[in-house]
Amino acid sequence: MEQNTQNLSKIEEFSKKFNDLLQEYKVTPEIHLDFPDYKNLPVDVQLALIVINNHKNTFVLNFKENE
């Protein structure tokens, strides 16, 4: 679904303010994968993570306006 220009400008404004706050407080967001059901990951999950790590991948933070 496409965002209209008004929503896009609000999101861009938020993103700029968010980045300014990150710089002001000298913090960097980090992403951490957590599997709270396991002390040791099952083999199939370990293999899936190995396969994913063998390919270029990035985590993307995106914002959408609540209705």
Provide the CA 30 distance to its chain's centre, in angstroms.
Answer: 8
43 in any annotated domain = yes
> Quick one: average pLDDT of 42-61?
92
42 in any annotated domain = yes
Give me the domain span that covers residue 33: 5-53
28 in any annotated domain = yes
Name the token pair of 30. 């980090």
20 in any annotated domain = yes
Higher per-residue confidence, 3 vs 25: 25
> Given this model, what pLDDT does residue 1 score?
46
What total number of domains does the chain contain?
A: 1
Provide the CA 66 distance to its chain's centre, in angstroms.
Answer: 18
Whether residue 63 contacts residue 14, with contact meaning beta carbons closer than 8 Å, is answered with yes
34 in any annotated domain = yes
65 in any annotated domain = no
64 in any annotated domain = no
Is the pTM of the predicted complex or chain greater than 0.75?
no
Question: By C-alpha distance, which of 29, 28, 34 is closest to 49?
Answer: 34
Is it the case that residue 31 has pLDDT exceeding 60? yes
Q: What is the pLDDT of residues 8-29, one digit of tens each?
A: 888 889 999 999 999 999 999 9
61 in any annotated domain = no
